[in-house]
Amino acid sequence: MFKKVIVGIDGEDGGRDAIALAQTLRAADSELILAHVYVGEPLAWRGSSSAYEEVLREDAAKLLKSAREDAGIEATLRWHASPSPGRGLHELAEDVGADLMVVGSSRRGHIGRVRSTDDTRHSLNGAPCPVAVAPAGYAQASDGLHKIGVAYDESPESKQALAFAQQLATERSTSLAACEVMYFPARYYVGPAFPDRSSVEQTLKQIRERIGQLDGVEPHAVYGDPAEELSAFSGTVDLLVVGSRGYGPFGRLLYGSTAQRLAHSARCPLLVLTRTASGQQTAAEAAGSEVAHTT
């Protein structure tokens, strides 16, 4: 499925985790690209120091070469100047035509939980291809890909996420589970309109039966806060796939802020499909993109 995978390298543990996840997700014949974004302008401005820019490029090249050697892998190296790491990775992904971008999470996290930094969140927002986030400690704790989970609610976006997960599960010969979270807005928590336990249980049963009719999909249905329940569900799978909503120039993540919260709390790698990945919209052309070097 993934033929060209770009991996964000920052010199911290998150880069090693990202490489490990990329190795798990990539196809055997895919091209792996290690990328580092250093803060700066892609095009030199009047009065800027070319010597300083050269030092940054040299440091980036050394960092990527070291990461490649430590991982013992074959990979193309790319480095790039950008005002922010997230934007820079988007520009590089578009430039190389990547079909998957993999980033790590904060080294301040603990094994089994994603601790997303601002850079990770920026990588998720507006990405031109699917983005996978590796939990802190994934390089040491990974046990491969055996079961894939998908957030599902019968929306067009979640159906696309399910189709994507089904294809990946078929290619990797893994099992597949779908989880739908039943929840109510705050206004339902008061007054006679709030459903009783019996009606909630009946609805959950109907949801499980509906999901169970999907070919080869293990059904899950729970009642509660979507982010919290999907985070708990992520502890039962090796990869959680979520879709995107059709809002904004690039599209918002499934359930809006829920996926952003999952980037903090998911207990397994999180794979986010953007609108572009779902085939709904072509990514906007990145302004000022210029790759500094390729090795």
Does residue 21 sit in the same domain as residue 65? Answer: yes
Residues 137 and 15 reside in one and the same domain: yes
Q: Quick check: is 19 in a domain?
A: yes
Q: Using the structure block, give the residue that is written with the tokens 């998150």.
A: 14
- Which of the four pLDDT bands, split at 50, 70 and 90, describes residue 251? very low
The SS3 call for residue 128 is: coil
Residue 54: the pLDDT is: 86
Residues 231 and 241 both lie in one domain: yes
The pLDDT, as a whole number, for residue 151 is: 94
State whether 64 and 111 are in the same domain: yes
Same domain for 159 and 122? no
The predicted structure's pLDDT at residue 16: 94
Q: Specify the higher pLDDT residue, 257 or 97.
A: 97
CA–CA dist 184, 95 (Å, integer): 43
| Residue-wise pLDDT tens digits, 134-164 | 988 999 988 899 999 999 988 888 999 999 9
Query: The domain that contains 126 carries what CATH number?
Result: 3.40.50.620
Query: Among 141, 172, 197, where does a domain finish?
Result: 141
- Tell me, yes or no, whether 80 and 207 share the same domain: no
Q: How many CB atoms lie within 10 A of CB 108?
A: 11
**Mean pLDDT computed over 253-258:** 52
pTM of the model: 0.82
**Partners of 76 in beta bridges:** 33
166 and 132 inside one domain: no
Same-domain check for residues 187 and 100: no
Give the range of the structural domain holding residue 23, as residue numbers without chain letter. 1-44+52-141
Domain count, the chain: 2
How far is it, in rounded angstroms, from Cα 80 to Cα 57?
8
84 and 211 belong to one structural domain = no
Q: How many CB atoms lie within 10 A of CB 62?
A: 12
Alpha helices (runs of H) in the chain, residue ranges in sequence order: 13-25, 50-71, 85-96, 118-124, 138-141, 156-172, 197-212, 226-234, 257-265
Q: Among 114-123, 174-183, 243-252, 259-268, which is the least confidently predicted range? A: 243-252
The CA angle 200-204-209, to the nearest 5 degrees, is 150
- Last residue within a domain, chosen from 122, 141, 160: 141
- For residue 291, being part of any structural domain is answered with no
Helix-, strand-, coil-residue percentages of the chain, each rounded to 5: 40, 20, 40
Exposed (0-12), middle (13-18) or buried (19+): which is 148, by Cβ within 10 Å?
buried
The DSSP string of 15-29 is HHHHHHHHHHHS-TT
Whether residues 6 and 136 fall in one domain: yes
Contacts of 130 by beta carbon, 8 Å cutoff, 6+ apart: 99, 100, 101, 164, 271, 272, 273, 274, 277
Domain assignment of residue 289, yes or no: no
Longest dimension (CA), the chain: 71
Give yes or no: residues 172 and 209 share one domain: yes
Would 290 be classed as within a structural domain?
Answer: no
| pLDDT tens readout for residues 173-220 | 999 999 999 886 555 555 555 667 888 899 999 999 999 999 999 999
Query: Residue 284 above 60 pLDDT?
Result: no
Boundary of a domain, candidates 141, 163, 185? 141
Q: How confident is the model at residue 263 (pLDDT cuts 50, 70, 90)?
A: confident
Is residue 27 a contact partner of residue 1, using CB atoms and an 8 Å limit? Answer: yes
Residue 235 sits in the same domain as residue 136: no
Q: CA separation (Å) from 292 to 32, 41, 150, 200?
A: 18, 11, 37, 56
pLDDT tens digit sequence for 106-141 = 544 444 444 444 555 666 677 889 999 998 899 998
Q: Is residue 22 part of a domain?
A: yes
Q: Is residue 253 part of a domain?
A: yes
Q: Give residue 264's pLDDT band: very low, low, confident or very high (50, 70, 90).
A: confident
Predicted local confidence at residue 185, as pLDDT: 58
Structural domain includes residue 74:
yes
> Does the residue 106 lie in any domain?
yes
pLDDT of 66 reads: 96
Q: How far apart are CA 179 and CA 211, in angstroms?
A: 9
